[in-house]
Structure formats: structure tokens, C-alpha cells
């Protein structure tokens, strides 16, 4: 295709940003200046089109350097990568973190999602509105930033040649104002994990997350050595015997997935580590990546070895700058030592919850809009670049280490017969000690909340949001539910991503339900009708229902909501639409939020 | 000696059951193909024989035994032993809701009578979401002499993007931009068409199911109240410009060509034309005097 650009020339900064990543253009055809030979020799076709997966990294480079993506900058990226500008515009406008309008180099993203709401994020935003003007210029409201244990949270971005991005939590109005004035911002404090028996988390706070030697001193790479002794089939047998279920939310048997990929006849095989943890209230993968990154890479290496993968990608959430740096460092060190089975490339998300859906994540790596694909075909048959792909969550991969070392049967001895091992739970909201807790599967919700110090004095429990925005509400009388896949299923709930947001009687549940509705409206990719329009109608009807003082239209609005919910559940392409009504439906039926 | 042609492996027949009726379908066929074989009227909006299925509108969903969610008939291929329900309560519910959600947010008045028939069949009442609901209403985009874009009629079926892209024209002048309810069809930075890569083949108009994309001539006549399909004749001819042999259908009203299309099932065009065949008819109606 011919690329027509009409948006004017890129700035020197934009060119520097793009060329800094891609190197200087080799010819006129790749965005360079015209040389005599360019009149006779062109560059295009499959070779040019194969650069499409570089689109997101290039867009990040521009945004990091300039703070936003101008038309000239985008078109320069298009010429360098042979991408039609209309398609690239579709991609850049899809991701929430890319700015298409000029904005100041320093931007503050303030989380106003559920856990931060419980910690006063709304008051913080109101104060910011008064001092720094309305959201949308120097500061923005953001969905969950995955710092719920230190709420309220924020993320600061400073564009420029010395680009910097940092998490700030807890955020106070004074700190926010200091940041916006450009003074140095404080590093987020790293809380110590509670002193209790830990398995998956045993190295956290103990090991130096930036040193492979420290990791090895603490038992690192014993699992890879054992895996090589066992051989690929032996590893898959152990993982299957361990009855490990995926920890990302869908709880698919990991062994079965690995077996399918290893047997897939088409080559190459890809491995993708899904670190796009965006479920509100979830921060377990961030903690693992920030504080034990080598374990994630070792787990990925074992998985790649067992399933015969030729190339790996780790797709990390754009809002996790520290995790990204630590993971990149871990890969570099492992590569230098020859500890990688296949090379692993880190890809950075750009603000799209939907990219946590595995097929949307593939599209994002491929440089496209993060729209989920219809299944079948499943990733194990045709995933990334249409090839067999193993996708595993961060926590799942870290579990593999113990399985390989101690054996599948020993691993399965912990937990319940159907949900083996331990599980990471992210406690946030109104508990005394929010944080990451590791307990054997089957521990009751009550015991988990007690571990976190219980509720504040003088407050009683209103509800627990289990599994984040895609999860559901659990009430006081269901607190003895065993936290296992089958136990939560029995009461119509889900473990989901391991988010446990505790709400006491001071929480405004109406506002939380509306926040969840807004979340899905904002995060729907817009591809399929049930979700694109359904999430909007759901929010509208919910607004009406919750502000309806005398309950006149209550019954019709309730039935409207359940009609929308059923269509979203039945007819949406992916899990986002299919679960977008869960929390709201459970909140309306379980909690007293409706008047009259 | 004649050149050898590889015709592919012989296809087997697959046994499936649709609404209790057992039938044999060629493997590789979609559920929609099978439904049409049985003359089961299945609603579709984003599906077109000449384009890659995108399965986004979800109005064709059917229930397949053993599947947790409904599946899109337009893209799901048949598998041996599949038990399919095309008129179950769940199917009717989702089809109704999809039509309601669309019609409550988009102006669907220019959709084909068939679409309005499906709305009646499934009892769609888009008004029930209430007044003051979000819609995609916006001003019509008129930035060139050949066609107009009225995105308040756009159901985001992706057909125009596919026709502009790899399925037909390979021009890639438009794409889907934005996200969620704000997702929309756009050129880069929503630049006017003359500043974009558009080559005015009009193939996007050819595939648009809702009248969001329209000949300027048709738009002007509709605005003037003179557009009258009952007064139009269709004359089939072959495009006079080059040697490809594209078949044209000239839509004529009051002895003037008002629109040009090509049949979807034509072996040369598959419904697609170029700017000359689609819009270069002015010389025919240059009248002397």
C-alpha cells in the first residue's frame, strides 16, 4: 500500500524518539531523505509489513519523549513502519494512556477506583480540582493503578529525554501539589510483608530483586535445573499432577494447556506471560514482578522449555514502571548468564484493561487495537501471530517453580482436592492491614480478613467485593465460604484475580456500583454490540435506579438491567462483556442500595 | 500438456442438527451456511459473503449444545455432531437485545426492510431504555462531491473498513478509532476525505448496510425529497473504461443515473468498483442544447 501523509512534518524531538528506537531510516521508503538509488529500488511488501508489532513501542517512545502523539509524529512512525496512518490512528486512539492532544510534560494520574475511593480518593480529586483545575490537563482520573494496599494511589509521568514514571502511594493533596509544581516526588514506600508462613512469597523482602546472584543464593534456578532433569514431558506431567489451575481469573488447568501447546504441530510456538494485571483491586503480579522478578522469568523459562517455545513475550501493564524495569533487568541478567531457554521480549501496555484478555493481548503485541478475537480457535492452536501460544499469568508461572522442585503430588497436598496449592489474595479497602496475603486454597474468607487485622474498631462489615470489578459481592453471612475455585462457585461468586476489597459500613456502595458501571463503560473495547452499547445502557439505567427516590420505575429498571446483563453474558465476544454485569447484579440483589 | 491445478483435498460431509433437523453440511462451512441451506432466516448485520467475518454485531448468535455462551453463526464453522438451536429463548433474547441496543443508539431508519422485519420478529422496542440515552448522533460529514458520511447511522459493522482494506481495495484510508461507545470509523486524526488516502472507489458505500455512507447524488435527492426508489429502473451494463469487464448496475430515475452498484455475486467485481466505474457517469448525461 502507498502511505499518504498530509499532517505536516514531525518535530526534531519526535524524529529523535522514533529513530532512537528504530535506528536511522535506511531509505526514502522508510521515512528517510531521498537518495538517488531510491528512484530505482523500493522497500515494501512483507518485509515492511512485518514491522507492525513495533508500533506500540514506537508510540511509547514518542509519548515518553514529547508527552503526547502529534499527527506529524504519528505519520513519521507510520512511514518508518509502513503502516497506513488511519490504522495507526485507530491504534493510538484505542489506548487510554496515549494522548492525542498537546499536554504538559508532567502529568499526574490519580486513581479513583474502588479501593482508593475507600481511602478518600474522591475528596482528594475534589481538592485537586480546586487547586489544579479540572481533570484532563495536568492531572487525570485513572482506573485502578494496582497500588490498592497503599491507597490512595497515583502515577506520575514526566516526558522528556530523561523520561521518568513513578508510582506514588499513598497520595496526599500536599504531595500532589508538590508533584504538579515540579518538585521532586517521594518514592513510594515499600511495605514489609506481614511476618507469617509464606511459600510463593518466601523470597519477597528477602531477596535483592535486582541481582541474579542474590536470587540464586535464595534457591533460585534450582527449579530450572530440576526441570531439565525431568525433561519437557516430565515437567508437564508434574504440572498436570499438581492440578494447578490458572491464577489469572479463568482457572483453566495449566497442565492441559501446556500439553496442548507442546503437541501443536505448527511452528514456531510462542510463550506469553500475561502481566497486564488491571482488575481493580489486584496487585499480586505487581508485587511478584517488583520484588521477585527472577522467579517470574525462571517460571517462564521452564514453561518455554516444557512446551518447546521459540520466542517469549512478557506483556506488562503500562502503569507498572518499576515492575517493568525490574523484569527487564532480570531478563538481561538471565540472558547474560545463558539462563533463558528462548529469548523474552518485554512489551508495555498503554492503558487498556481489555488487553488482559489473552487474544486482545496478542493483538496488542502485534501492533493492533486490543480487540479480543472470537474463540475458537484457541491460543493453543492459533494465538500470537496465528501460531500456537502458551499464555500464563505471572502467579501461575511462579507456582510452577515449587511444583517442579517438590513434585506435583506434594504440591497438590496443600489446598483442597480440586483447588491445589496456595493462593495470593490482595486485601484492600477497610481492613486494618491491607496487603498481599498467601493462604492455602480453601481458607475461609473470614480467616483471611482476620489475618489482615479485621475491620476498624466500631465498624461492621457491609460487603466484600471478591474478584474485582468482574467479580461479585459477598456479604457477612457468606464469610465462611472457603476460598477455593469450587467453594466460591457454590455461592455464585468467583476467586477471579484474587482481589478482596473489604467494605465496612462507612462505604458508599451506591457510588461503588456506579464506579464499576463506569469502569466497564470506559474499558469496553467497543467491538461487539452487546458490550459496547450494553455497558452504556447499564450505567444509564443504574444511575436512574439509584437516584430514583420513590422507586416508581424500580421494577422495570431492574428487569431492564437483567435483560441487558443476560445479553452481555450470552452474546459478548469476550470475558469483559460476559462479566460486566456480575458485580452490579450481585450488588443490587445482595446489598441494600435501592430506595423504597 | 495442460497445467496441473491443485483443487484441494476432497471435503467431507459433517453431520449436524439444527433445531432438531439432522443434516449434512460440507466441512468448513459456517453455521450460517448450514442455516441458509435449511432456509432458516438468520439475521445478520456485519456479515457479507465477500468480506472476512468479523462477528461483531452478534445478531446472528445461535445456541450450541455444550457451549457456555452463544456463538456467532457467521464465523463459527460446523463440527461433527454439533447440536444447534436457532430459535431458543436465549437466542431470541440476545437477538432482540442486540437490535434494541443498536436501534436505541443509532438511526437505523434507512436499513433494509429485512432488518425492520427482524426487529418486528424479535419484538425489539428500543424506546424502553428511556429518554435522554446516549446515541451516536452527530452532523453529517460532507467534504467532497462524491459521497457523504452520516455516522449517526453507523452501527460499526466494520464492513467499510474491510472493503477499504485488505478484503478489497487495499487503500486503508479509514479505520476504527477510539474505544468503547466512542469507537468510530475515521481517517487519521479524522481528517476530511480529500486530505486522506481515500481514492473514492466508493466500495465502502457498496457494503454499508445502514445508509451511513451514501452517494452525494442520493443524499441530495433525499434532502430535496425527490429520491423515489419505486420510480427507479436498474440497467445492467459493462463498465466502458478499461478492459477488466466490471459489471455495472445503473440506477436511473427521471432518465438520470443516480447511483451505480455492482452485483455482489459477480465473478469479476464481487460488488467492488473503482472511482471511474462508480462515479464516472456524468458524461452519459451531458445533454446537448
Which chain A residues touch B171 with a CB distance below 8 Å?
1
Mean pLDDT of A448-462: 95
C-alpha cell at position A232: 519437557
Residue matched to cell numbers 453474558: A569
Residue ranges of domains in chain B: 12-135, 147-285
How many residues does this entry show for chain B? Answer: 289
> How far, in Å, CA of A165 to CA of A158, rounded?
6
pLDDT at A1 over 90: no
Centroid of chain to Cα B260: 16
How many domains, in total, are found in chain A? 5
Least confident of A587-591, B133-137, B198-202: A587-591
Q: What is the DSSP string of A221-272?
A: THHHHHHHHHHHHHHHHHHHHTT-B-TTTT--BHHHHHHHHHH--SS--EEE
Reported as a single tens digit per residue, the pLDDT across A81-106 is 999 999 999 999 999 999 999 999 99
Mean pLDDT throughout A280-290? 97
Concatenate the DSSP letters of all residues of A311-330 into one string: EEEEEE-TT-HHHHHHHHHH
Domain match, A571 and A585 both: yes
Of the candidates B98, B128, B189, the beta carbon closest to that of A529 is on B98
The pLDDT of residue A188:
60
Same domain, A476 and A348: no
Angle between helices A554-571 and A582-590 (to 10 degrees): 150
Residues 176-195 in B contacting A (C-alpha not used; CB under 8 Å): 176-183, 186-189, 191, 195
Interchain CB distance below 8 Å, A369 and B176: yes
Residue A548 touches chain B, beta carbons under 8 Å:
no
Are the beta carbons of A533 and B183 separated by less than 8 Å? no
| Average pLDDT of every residue of chain A | 94
Of A306, A292, A174, nearest in space to A239 by CA: A306
Q: Is A537 on the interface with B (CB under 8 A)?
A: yes
Q: What percentage of chain B reaches a pLDDT higher than 70?
A: 99
Tracing cell 450481585 back to the chain, one arrives at: A586
A109-141 pLDDT tens trace: 999 999 999 999 999 999 999 999 999 999 999
Q: Is domain B147-285 annotated with CATH 2.20.25.90? A: yes
Q: What is the CATH number of the domain that holds A119?
A: 3.40.30.10
B138 with B154: CB under 8 angstroms? no
Q: Does residue A4 lie within any of the structural domains?
A: no
Residues A524 and A496 in one domain: no
- The answer to whether B171 faces chain A, any CB pair under 8 Å, is yes
Of A393, A367, A261, A380, the closest CA to residue A314 belongs to: A393
The C-alpha cell at A569 is 453474558
Whether A308 is in a domain gets the answer yes
pLDDT digits (tens, 9 = 90+) for B20-31: 999 999 999 999
Pair (A336, A383) in one structural domain: yes
In a domain, A99, yes or no: no
Q: Is residue A190 part of a domain?
A: no
> Are the C-beta atoms of residues A296 and A329 closer than 8 Å to each other?
no
CB-nearest partner of B69 from A88, A526, A570:
A570
A39 occurs within a structural domain: yes
Element (H, E) at B176: strand B175-177
H or E segment to which residue A286 belongs: helix A284-291
pLDDT at A44: 82
> Do A69 and A99 form a contact (C-beta atoms < 8 A)?
yes
pLDDT confidence tier of residue A191, bands split at 50, 70 and 90: confident
Give A192's pLDDT tier (boundaries 50, 70, 90): confident
**For position A380, which CATH number holds?**
3.40.50.11540
Residue A306 sits in the same domain as residue A286 = yes
Please report how the helices A293-307 and A394-406 are oriented relative to each other, as an axis angle in degrees rounded to 10: 70
List the single residue in A with minimal CA-CA distance to B94.
Answer: A567
- Phi, psi (deg, nearest 5) at residue A264: -65, 125
CATH number at residue A466: 3.10.20.600
Q: Is residue A529 within 8 Å of A485, Cβ to Cβ?
A: no
Q: What is the mean pLDDT of residues A313-326?
A: 97
Residue A6 within any structural domain of the chain: no
Three-state SS at A560: helix
Closest residue of chain A to B90, computed from CA coordinates = A570
- A300 contacts A271 by C-beta, under 8 angstroms: yes
Confidence (pLDDT) at A595: 62
pLDDT digits 0-9 by tens, B210-241? 999 999 999 999 999 999 999 999 999 999 99
Q: Is A386 on the interface with B (CB under 8 A)?
A: no
* Same domain? A519 vs A565: yes
Assess if residue A203 is contained within a domain. Answer: no
Backbone torsions φ then ψ of B208, nearest 5 degrees: -70, 125
CATH of B12-135, picked from 3.40.50.10490, 2.60.120.10, 3.40.50.300, 3.10.20.740, is 3.10.20.740
Q: Cβ contacts of residue A428 below 8 Å, gap of 6+?
A: A115, A118, A148, A149, A151, A281, A283, A434, A499, A500, A501, A502
* Residue bearing cell 479497602: A429
Residues B112-138 as b/e (b if ≥16 CB within 10 A, e otherwise) read eeebeebbeebebebeebeeebbebee
Do A59 and A82 lie in one domain? The reply is: yes
A532 touching B, CB under 8 A?
yes
Q: Which of A371, A190, A202 is nearest to A290 (CA)?
A: A190
* A312 plus A385 within the same structural domain: yes
| A3 close contact with B: CB closer than 8 A | yes
Query: Residue A2 domain-assigned?
Result: no
For A493, left (φ over 0), alpha (ψ -120 to 50), or beta?
A: beta
Do residues A493 and A518 both lie within one domain? no
User: Reading across the β-sheet that carries B233-238, which strands appear in turn?
Assistant: B233-238, B247-253, B256-261
Confidence band for B256, pLDDT divided at 50, 70 and 90 = very high
Q: Which residue has the cell 467453594?
A: A487
Which structural domain range is residue A85 located in? Answer: 12-92
Predicted ipTM of the assembly: 0.95
pLDDT tens-digit series, residues B129-188: 998 999 999 999 999 999 999 999 999 999 999 999 999 999 999 999 999 999 999 999
Mean pLDDT of all residues in A419-447: 96
What pLDDT sits at residue A186? 66
Q: Which of B59, B128, B179 sits opposite A560 (nearest CB)?
A: B128
pTM: 0.96
In whole angstroms, what is the distance from residue A285 CA to residue A147 CA?
11
Q: Mark whether A536 and A493 lie in a shared domain.
A: no
On whether any CB of chain A is under 8 Å from the CB of B199, the answer is no
Residues 6 or more apart from B109 whose CB is under 8 A from it?
B153
- What is the rounded distance in angstroms from the CA atom of residue B22 to the CA atom of residue B271? 34
The reply to whether residue B181 touches residue A535, judged by beta carbons under 8 angstroms, is yes
Same domain? For A244 and A364 the reply is yes
CATH number of the domain encompassing residue A539: 1.20.1440.230
Separation between Cα atoms, residue A322 and residue A345, nearest integer Å = 16
Domain boundary among A181, A202, A227: A181
Residues A444 and A527 in one domain: no
B65 CA: distance to closest CA in chain A (Å): 13
Residue B269 confidence (pLDDT) above 90: yes
Amino acid at each position: 500500500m502507498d502511505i499518504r501523509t498530509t499532517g505536516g512534518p514531525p518535530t526534531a524531538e519526535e524524529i529523535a524518539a522514533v529513530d532512537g528506537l528504530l535506528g536511522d531510516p535506511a531509505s526514502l521508503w522508510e521515512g528517510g531523505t531521498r537518495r538517488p538509488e531510491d528512484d530505482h529500488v523500493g522497500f515494501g511488501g512483507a518485509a515492511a509489513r512485518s514491522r507492525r508489532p513495533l508500533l506500540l513501542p514506537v508510540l511509547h517512545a514518542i509519548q515518553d519523549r514529547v508527552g503526547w502523539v502529534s499527527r506529524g509524529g504519528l505519520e513519521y512512525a507510520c512511514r518508518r513502519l509502513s503502516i497506513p496512518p488511519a490504522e495507526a490512528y485507530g491504534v493510538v486512539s484505542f489506548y487510554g494512556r496515549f494522548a492525542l492532544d498537546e499536554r504538559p510534560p508532567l502529568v499526574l494520574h490519580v486513581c479513583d477506583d474502588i479501593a482508593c475511593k475507600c481511602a478518600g480518593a474522591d475528596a482528594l480529586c475534589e481538592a485537586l480540582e480546586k487547586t489544579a483545575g479540572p481533570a484532563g490537563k495536568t492531572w487525570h482520573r485513572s482506573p485502578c493503578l494496582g497500588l490498592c494496599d497503599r491507597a490512595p494511589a497515583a502515577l506520575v509521568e514526566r516526558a522528556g529525554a530523561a523520561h521518568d514514571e513513578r508510582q506514588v502511594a499513598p497520595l496526599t493533596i500536599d504531595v500532589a501539589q508538590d508533584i504538579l509544581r515540579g518538585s521532586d516526588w517521594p518514592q513510594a514506600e515499600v511495605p514489609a510483608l506481614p511476618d507469617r508462613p509464606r511459600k510463593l512469597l518466601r523470597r519477597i523482602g528477602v531477596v535483592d530483586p535486582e541481582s541474579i546472584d542474590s536470587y540464586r543464593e535464595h534457591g533460585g534456578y534450582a527449579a530450572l535445573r530440576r526441570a531439565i532433569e525431568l525433561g519437557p514431558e516430565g515437567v508437564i506431567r508434574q504440572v498436570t499432577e499438581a492440578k494447578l489451575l490458572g491464577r489469572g481469573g479463568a482457572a483453566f488447568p495449566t497442565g492441559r494447556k501446556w500439553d496442548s501447546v507442546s503437541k501443536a504441530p505448527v511452528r514456531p510456538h510462542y510463550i506469553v506471560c500475561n502481566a497486564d494485571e488491571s482488575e481493580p483491586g489486584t496487585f499480586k503480579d505487581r508485587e511478584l514482578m517488583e520484588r521477585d522478578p527472577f522467579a517470574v522469568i525462571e517460571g517462564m523459562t521452564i514453561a518455554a522449555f516444557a512446551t518447546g517455545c521459540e520466542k517469549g513475550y512478557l506483556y506488562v501493564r503500562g502503569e507498572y514502571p518499576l515492575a517493568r524495569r525490574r523484569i527487564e533487568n532480570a531478563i538481561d541478567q538471565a540472558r547474560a548468564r545463558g539462563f533463558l531457554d528462548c529469548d523474552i521480549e518485554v512489551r508495555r501496555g498503554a492503558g487498556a484493561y481489555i488487553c488482559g484478555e489473552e487474544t486482545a493481548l496478542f493483538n496488542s503485541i502485534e501492533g493492533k487495537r486490543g480487540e479480543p478475537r472470537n474463540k475458537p480457535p484457541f491460543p493453543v492452536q492459533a494465538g500470537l501471530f496465528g501460531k500456537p501460544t502458551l499464555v500464563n499469568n505471572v502467579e501461575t508461572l511462579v507456582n510452577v517453580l515449587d511444583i517442579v522442585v517438590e513434585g506435583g503430588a506434594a504440591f497438590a497436598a496443600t489446598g483442597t482436592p480440586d483447588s491445589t496449592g496456595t493462593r495470593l489474595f490482595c486485601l484492600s479497602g477497610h481492613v486494618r492491614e491491607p496487603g498481599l496475603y498467601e493462604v492455602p486454597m480453601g481458607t475461609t474468607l473470614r480467616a483471611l480478613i482476620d489475618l489482615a487485622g479485621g475491620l476498624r474498631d466500631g465498624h461492621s462489615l457491609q460487603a466484600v467485593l471478591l474478584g474485582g470489578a468482574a467479580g461479585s459481592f459477598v456479604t457477612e453471612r457468606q464469610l465462611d465460604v472457603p476460598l477455593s475455585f469450587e467453594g466460591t462457585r457454590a455461592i455464585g461468586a468467583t476467586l477471579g484475580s484474587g482481589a478482596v476489597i473489604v467494605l465496612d459500613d462507612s462505604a458508599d456502595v451506591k457510588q461503588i456500583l456506579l464506579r464499576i458501571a463506569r469502569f466497564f463503560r470506559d474499558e469496553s473495547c467497543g467491538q461487539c454490540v452487546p458490550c459496547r452499547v450494553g455497558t452504556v445502557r447499564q450505567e444509564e439505567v443504574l444511575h436512574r435506579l439509584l437516584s430514583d427516590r420513590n422507586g416508581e420505575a424500580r421494577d422495570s429498571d431492574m428487569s431492564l438491567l437483567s435483560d441487558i446483563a443476560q445479553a452481555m453474558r450470552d452474546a459478548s465476544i469476550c470475558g469483559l462483556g460476559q462479566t460486566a454485569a456480575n458485580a452490579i447484579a450481585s450488588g443490587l440483589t445482595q446489598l441494600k442500595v435501592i430506595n423504597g | 500438456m495442460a497445467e496441473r491445478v491443485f483443487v484441494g483435498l476432497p471435503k467431507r460431509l459433517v453431520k449436524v442438527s439444527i433445531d432438531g433437523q439432522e443434516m449434512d453440511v460440507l466441512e468448513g462451512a459456517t453455521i450460517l451456511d448450514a442455516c441458509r441451506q435449511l432456509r432458516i432466516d438468520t439475521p445478520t448485520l456485519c456479515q457479507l459473503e465477500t468480506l472476512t467475518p468479523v462477528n461483531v454485531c452478534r445478531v446472528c448468535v445461535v445456541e450450541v449444545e455444550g457451549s457456555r455462551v452463544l456463538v456467532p453463526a457467521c464465523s463459527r464453522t460446523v463440527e461433527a455432531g454439533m447440536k444447534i438451536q436457532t430459535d431458543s429463548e436465549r437466542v431470541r433474547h440476545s437477538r432482540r437485545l442486540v437490535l434494541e441496543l443498536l436501534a436505541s443508539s443509532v438511526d437505523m431508519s434507512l436499513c433494509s426492510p429485512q432488518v425492520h422485519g427482524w426487529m418486528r420478529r424479535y419484538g425489539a422496542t428500543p424506546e424502553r431504555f428511556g429518554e435522554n440515552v446516549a446515541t451516536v448522533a452527530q452532523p453529517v460529514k460532507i467534504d467532497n462531491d462524491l459521497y457523504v458520511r452520516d455516522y449517526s447511522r453507523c452501527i460499526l459493522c466494520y464492513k467499510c473498513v474491510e472493503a477499504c482494506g485488505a478484503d478489497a481495495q487495499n487503500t486503508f484510508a479509514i479505520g476504527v478509532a477510539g474505544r468503547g461507545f466512542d469507537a468510530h470509523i475515521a481517517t487519521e486524526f479524522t481528517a476530511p476525505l480529500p486530505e486522506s488516502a481515500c481514492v473514492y472507489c466508493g466500495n465502502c458505500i457498496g457494503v454499508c448496510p445502514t445508509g451511513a455512507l451514501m452517494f452525494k447524488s442520493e443524499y441530495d435527492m433525499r434532502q430535496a425529497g425527490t429520491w423515489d426508489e419505486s420510480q427507479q429502473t436498474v440497467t445492467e451494463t459493462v463498465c466502458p473504461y478499461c478492459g477488466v469487464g466490471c459489471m455495472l448496475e445503473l440506477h436511473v430515475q427521471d432518465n438520470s443515473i443516480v447511483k451505480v452498484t455492482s452485483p455482489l455475486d459477480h465473478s469479476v467485481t464481487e460488488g467492488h468498483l473503482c472511482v471511474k466505474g462508480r462515479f464516472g457517469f456524468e458524461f452519459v448525461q451531458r445533454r446537448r442544447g
